[in-house]
Structure 1
Amino acid sequence: MWVKRRLIPFNPCDGFQVTNKAQDETRTREPFSASDLRTIFNRDHLPVTLPHKFWAPLIGLYSGARVNEIAQLQVDDIEEVVGIWGMHIRRQVKNTHSRRFVPLHPELIRLGLLAYVKDVQTAGFAHVFPGLSWGDNGPGDSVGDWFNRTYLRKTCGITNPAKVFHSFRHTFATAAERAGIPDGRIAQLTGHSTGSTVLRQHYIHVAELPRRLDDISKVVFPEVELSPRKPGFFDPYLRRQRALENRERRKTEGR
């Protein structure tokens, strides 16, 4: 406007690009290297008794899902559709593009995720990861803070500030691209915008699920070598959490 009115000879803001905080953080994040993944998923490092600390990083790696999308999963979000097990990303999503149904990677099934979810359901919990603290942004903050500040930096010794939980999302997308999956189909899996209004309105395309499963199955990480968790493995944690909840309820009822 000032240039058009000839009040100044040039626009001093030319060349500047205004971004918000989320965009800035995304641009400064880097994917994990093969060496990083070997360290993160070292069986001597990874906590194996707390389900959210064991499963959340694995789900992030093998789906590209955001930390809050993972942390707020409920038991009924894990569903079998036309013979394909997957997870509904639909609660407090970042935007309309984020709402989707992601087939479970075969490696997650091999490691025992479905058995764990069944144990959670049997224990009577609604959330896949009971016991997480919920802040204004949901339960993802507690998982992200633990992973970024404690596990990644102190336990694993990965101090690059550009590498955080969100780096799993970049790692997944990079591996998917190298596997030959087109950008639009990667976006469907990760919940990025594809410019399709149909995708926004109908996040489950039954006819596309076999292809989505085929796509996600092509994303492999040979650096990750973990043994399956047997059914009932996390039962001690679930029993402790139930006891804590019962104790808190009795305190509330006694007031």
Structure 2
Amino acid sequence: MLEEVVATRYVTPLREGGSLPGIVEADDLGTYVMKFTGAGQGRKTLVAEVICGRLAQRLRLRVPELVQIELDPVIGLGEPDQEVQELLKASGGLNLGMDYLPGSIGFDPLAYAVDPVEAGRVVWFDALINNVDRSWRNPNMLVWHGELWLIDHGATMIWHHNWPGAQGAAAKAYNASDHALAPVGPDIAAAAAALAPLVTEELLTEVAADVPDEWLVDEPGFGSTDELRRAYVEVLLARAGTIHERISMEAVAKAPSQPPGWLADRLAVRPREKKSDSR
């Protein structure tokens, strides 16, 4: 289970994301990026963050540590921003925190080289969870202490917004042509060989168990939270074995979200530059 802490101070909002996460301090003296149950996207965003974040960690991808944060809405009484006040009032109880990485910077493909092996692992993982939110326009990756960290997995596992069609979603392809790391030439085959055998029923069951019950209750079509957890396990397990065969990285003609040619060309040579500079 996730460690539980208590928020002691709301520091500042992070307005880059649509859900308006905020930086908070907690009673363990830690600082966290907090995502709220009262945000417009709802608790399923937090469920996705937990399942995908914990799964990434088990696959040895770098994701900030996750905690449960207990929030007393009174903490927002001194907040001058009305929007933030309303969000805090609507989010009393258990929320989600991600370890704040001080000094981290947003991933810039021109400043940080990613080799094809690491890129392949990230793309394969995103295909598994159907992450549609790691494009070159919005990479949702940070560089911290010289290493790549993955953040923001709330827009994943789109099938949990329509459970009757979830099994069909397991067989769907993943279009990675817009992925931030696609121009690097990700080694998908190597990633599948290394990671797919690790995604077992046992591992997925353990990951799903980390989601607090209160974020899973009253889901239509399910008689219990354990039954709902099982549904997450079944879809991810069905995708893991063969998703590498259905990853496409062919650019769509005239797609407005494709990176400009100069960026794609530069990305394509970055891993070779990094290797040649090593001593």
Q: TM-score, normalised by structure 1?
A: 0.27
Larger radius of gyration: 1
For CA contacts below 8 A with separation 6 or more, give which structure has more relative contact order: 1
Q: Which has the higher strand share?
A: 2
Higher helix share: 1
